[in-house]
Amino acid sequence: MVAASVQFGIHPPARRVIVHVSDTHLLAGDRLLGGHYDSTGHLVQTLRAVERLGIRPDAIVFTGDLTDLGEPEAYDRLRAVVDPVAVRLGAPIVWVAGNHDERPALRQALLGDAATQEPVTGVWDLGGLRLIALDSSVPGWHHGDIDERQLSWLRDTLAAPAPLGTLIALHHPPLPSHVPLFDILELRHQDALAEILSGTDVRGILAGHLHYSTSGTFAGIPVSVAAATCYTMNLARPPADVNGMDAGQSFHLVHVYDDTITHSVVPVVDAPTGEYFDAAWLERMSRLTPEERLEAFSRKPIR
């Protein structure tokens, strides 16, 4: 079987691959979220989809709202669902705190640390790609913020560049939203964060919180927001009427290249799929010269 990393075009294979998942919102006892959404079942479906990719990601990043009420049992359930998949894929898990999370229970159940209100932060070296997790949660509130001590730590951490650059992961995206509710719950004091990130080796920001996929730039840095696995926001409505729907769940595949980073939305859905491309097709194409590939595949048929 020919690996998907075979190069046909001008871009070499990605240097690193990250699975970006967000807003799982698990409840203790696998209760339905809001009485409607099977958040545990949707997470299981999502992880099955991740495993079907047939890749070994360099990390699996969960950008917050890991549980809905911060229940210790919900964190235990989350770890029981995710850990076996991460072990099979050989990938480290990066847990990011969200506004629905409770730091003490998260730290104890997922990190094996003391149950304190200390921000949940960390740094991972993914073969030269640095990944920094920030904690934008504010205990007792749903808006986001990053305290002065965390900002100082971030400044010191970014003082020396990493070989492949840095990705930042946090829950509240430093982006505007056209949905009125999210204006209330946005990340505050964004100017302080922008001042620290400007001129550093940060190449991208991964976030969640919005329950819909979107992207933009912050301090000149690309920002990619992954939709939720529990439920998503139905944007096919006027802004004031946007509400949740049990559809459109997805995760992101992040491919890190030398000169760019791509963020691909992967839908979690069972749907009929064509069978034209497969490993055998890739094998055949890899044996052709570039000119033969152009002739066999790129030329339009004569009508």
Q: What residues does 21 pair with on adjacent strands?
A: 62
Between CA 43 and CA 21 the distance in angstroms is: 9
Dihedral of CA 170/174/176/182: which sign? positive
The pLDDT profile of the chain, 303 residues, written as one tens digit per residue, is: 334 567 888 899 999 999 999 999 999 999 999 999 999 999 999 999 999 999 999 999 999 999 999 999 999 999 999 999 999 999 999 999 999 999 999 999 999 999 999 999 999 999 999 999 999 999 999 999 999 999 999 999 999 999 999 999 999 999 999 999 899 999 999 999 999 999 999 999 999 999 999 999 999 999 999 999 999 999 999 999 999 999 999 999 999 999 999 999 999 998 888 988 888 888 888 888 888 888 877 777 766
Between CA 211 and CA 228 the distance in angstroms is: 5
Cα 223–Cα 258–Cα 7 angle in degrees, nearest 5: 115
pTM for the full predicted model = 0.95
Q: What residues does 166 pair with on adjacent strands?
A: 130, 202
Between CA 124 and CA 111 the distance in angstroms is: 14
Neighbours of 262 (CB within 10 A): 15
Cα 73–Cα 74–Cα 79 angle in degrees, nearest 5: 100
Between CA 135 and CA 175 the distance in angstroms is: 16
